[in-house]
Amino acid sequence: MVVTIRSNPGASNTMDTGLLDPLPAKSRTGAFYPSGSATLGTSGMWQGLVQNIAVGTGAFNAVQVSSAGVRGRWQTGTTINSICGSRISPVNTERDLNPWTEWKLQLSAATTVRTFLGFMSSASAPVSAADYGANLSVVAFWQDSSVDGNWHIMQNSGAASSNTTTINNVAAVDTSAHTFAIRADNANSKFEYSYDGGNWTTINTAIPAASTQLTWQWFCECLAGSASRNFDVYYVQNKQDA
């Protein structure tokens, strides 16, 4: 099952053809999908705002086709601490806009790799770090093979270090394609996450404040000098109130 952004977040986790509202001034949508380069293939509120992340030897490689769909392949290269992926710049969402975002992506290996996908209060390109959310506001899926073999939720409201232990086992990291979704529920002062279309789970401690400006980042980092890592992105899509 694929979790898809809906016009009514409380309804269910199933496909909804109402992704694009007839009244765009009332709510906003954005999408990113592979289309020939690292920054092409955007629509809606993200048009022209996708920035490539290429730190060290990290780079966009090519658009490919697999049994899981059309994907854009980013590669870290074989230089340790090289990073590849994408970010939306400038920041253009907040928790009080109730953003609902879903990623479909795939890693080429579950070892010597560190990955982040979610909301961050910085639109700058990331640097190598064990804690990407230090001194920032973040809520994201995160994994670090030097820590363990699980996807965690990284959460922070601006503290010197992020919390990655409250939700420390979303799922085991593997090399298959998966969907990852995070949505804000500002009325109840929380975010929620869903993995592969599963039930929504609450994130309500150490989260970005309602009016903290946020953006989206998704990237992976090579943790060994001889091991290139592929970061395959099938799509990213978002819907929010305004």
Q: Domains in the chain, please, with CATH?
A: 29-240 (2.60.120.200)
Contact 186, 206 (CB under 8 A): no
Residue type, 34: P
What is the pLDDT of the chain when averaged over all its residues? 91
For residues 57-65, average pLDDT: 94
DSSP letter, residue 61: E
State phi, psi for 73 to the nearest 5 degrees: -105, 120
- C-alpha pair distances (Å), 99 with each of 112, 181, 240: 31, 11, 4
Count other Cβ atoms within 10 Å, centred on residue 62.
12
pLDDT-based confidence at 15, cuts 50/70/90? very low
Cα gap 63→12, rounded to integer Å: 32
**pTM, to two decimals:** 0.90
Question: For 223-233, how does the pLDDT look when each residue is reduced to its tens digit (9 = 90+)?
Answer: 998 889 999 99
Using alpha carbons, list the distances in angstroms from residue 16 to 6, 23, 132, 149, 227: 6, 16, 33, 33, 40
What does the pLDDT look like over 97-119, one tens digit per residue?
999 999 999 999 999 999 999 99
Looking at residue 238, what is its pLDDT?
97
Neighbour count for residue 160 (Cβ, 10 Å): 8
- What percentage of the chain reaches a pLDDT higher than 90? 84
Helix (H, G, I), strand (E, B) or coil at 183: strand
Query: Per residue in 124-174, pLDDT tens?
Result: 999 999 999 999 999 999 999 999 999 999 999 999 999 999 999 999 999
The encoded tokens of residue 13 equal 């986790």
Question: How much is the average pLDDT of 30-44?
Answer: 91
